[in-house]
Amino acid sequence: MIDDWEMRRLARYFAGESIDDERRKTEAWLAEDPARRAEAERLKALWNASGQSSWTPNVDAAWTSLTARVHVGEAGAPLSLIPPQRVVVSPKFHWKENPSRRVSRFIMSAAALAAASAVAFIGGREIESSDRAAKSAKAAKPAIREFRTARGQRAVVVLGDGSRVELGAESVLRVDETAVGRRVVNLEGQAVFDVTHDSLRPFEVRSANAITEDLGTRFTVRAYRDEARVQVFVAAGKVALRAVGSPESSGTVLGPRDLGVLDSIGRTTVRNGVDSTSHLAWTRDRFVFNNAPLADVLPEIARWFDVNIDVADSELLKRRVTLNVPARSLADVLAAVTTPLRLRSAKRGSQFVIE
């Protein structure tokens, strides 16, 4: 299957914008596999169609056709997935800093039609026919279903109970179907949860050493593996936050605009009246930081644009910056970070260096 980066490379090739070396490599890559070349020919037709400003892909029809024929996962009823046009892929530095509308239309249509054979953008599992899925569901034991986003990508998953989860870049959501009497998901990374409340079946998010229990709310959880704390921000309603292994009654209740932080040894601190802007900015394709150290800012940018960013001197990571900028262009975002600090960014090989 041709992935997002390869589609962007093909878009440059179709547009005649590949440099000589890249053009030769692309042609050799296509020649290696007849099936790949056939797929590229199909995508070329999409590219030609996307040049028509009035043209839009029939994503709904493609998704309806897909969901009528497939089952996702290993056991149980299929999750209620959303149409692919609501899966948002962030820009990557492999392509131009400001992709044209034509490229956006091309990528969107290719993703929609690719859904006819796989949903690699959401879950990464093979798709079974409905007959095979029905047999598997009867024979298989309860399973863990996994949904994964790569760097530079995010996705929305709608669970069978109607709860909605928006996954941030480089995140993994595991739906635990072995839980009895409650709904349990495991998160590594970042997500916003809009939970359909059910007092008889509590909804729990388990991440690192934290358990966040929904009490009827919309909330965010941030728990990347390389961060020593779990952050939970409540946008509406309330949640209970506690450490793994502690009794349910010990949970700290968080209400609207509360930010709960649980550290590596299970201690919880709470800030009240927190502005939601920075905690939800990534869902609106923006970077928002308020007097944040570069040690927090640069990994977020690197994760969004799928690039490597380093600093010439580790002392620079202590410098703080405030910004509120759209996440469309890597160059613009880096300029917004470096200019007020009298720094500059330079591309060195495969990475960017702040100096």
Tens-digit pLDDT string for the chain (355 aa): 565 567 667 777 777 766 677 778 888 888 888 878 877 777 777 666 555 444 444 444 444 444 443 333 333 333 333 333 333 333 332 323 334 445 555 555 555 455 433 333 333 333 333 344 445 544 554 578 888 888 888 888 888 888 889 989 899 999 887 778 889 999 999 999 999 888 888 999 999 999 999 988 899 999 999 898 999 999 999 999 999 999 888 899 999 999 999 999 999 999 999 999 999 999 888 999 999 999 999 999 999 988 999 999 999 999 999 999 998 889 999 999 999 999 999 998 878 999 9
In the chain, the number of structural domains is: 3
Residues 292 and 279 in one domain: no
The answer to whether residue 105 is domain-embedded is: no
Do 279 and 332 belong to one domain?
A: no
Asked if 311 and 241 sit in the same domain, the reply is no
Q: Are residues 226 and 346 in the same domain?
A: no
CB burial of residue 257 (10 Å; 0-12, 13-18, 19+): middle
Whether residues 165 and 263 share a domain: the answer is yes
Whether the full predicted model's pTM is greater than 0.85, yes or no, is no
How far apart CA 139 and CA 122 sit, in angstroms, is 24
The answer on 332 and 256 residing in a single domain is: no
Note whether 262 and 314 are same-domain residues.
no
Domain of 275, CATH number, reads 2.60.120.1440
Instruction: Indicate whether 104 belongs to any domain.
Output: no
148 and 263 fall within a common domain:
yes
258 and 312 inside one domain: no
* 42 domain-assigned: yes
Residue recorded with tokens 């047999």 = 135
Whether 9 maps to a domain, the answer reads yes
Secondary structure of residue 352 in the 3-state scheme: strand
- Please give the Cα distance from 193 to 184 (Å, whole number): 13
At 285, give phi and psi (nearest 5°): 60, 45
Domain end position, chosen among 223, 257, 284: 284
Q: In the numeric block, which tokens belong to residue 200?
A: 């008889």
Give the DSSP per-residue string, 288-346.
EEEEEEHHHHHHHHHHHHT-EEEESSGGGGG-EEEEEEESS-HHHHHHHHHGGGT--EE
Assign residue 327 the CATH number of its domain.
Answer: 3.55.50.30
Same-domain pairing of 177 and 257: yes
- Strands 308-311 and 351-354, how do they pair? parallel
Look at residues 284, 310, 334 and tell me which one is the last residue of a structural domain.
Answer: 284
Evaluated on CA atoms 112, 118, 119, 120, the torsion sign reads negative
Shared domain check, 334 and 258: no
- In-domain check, residue 102: no
The answer to whether residue 252 is domain-embedded is: yes
For residue 112, give both structure tokens: 């929609």
- Measure Cα distances from 214 to 183, 274, 292 in Å: 10, 19, 29
CA distance 142 to 13: 45
**Would you list the DSSP string of 151-169?**
TTB-EEEE-TTS-EEEE-T
Instruction: Please tell me whether residues 219 and 316 are part of one structural domain.
Output: no
Helix, strand or coil for residue 70? strand
**Residue 258's domain spans which residues?**
142-284
Residue 147 resides in a domain: yes
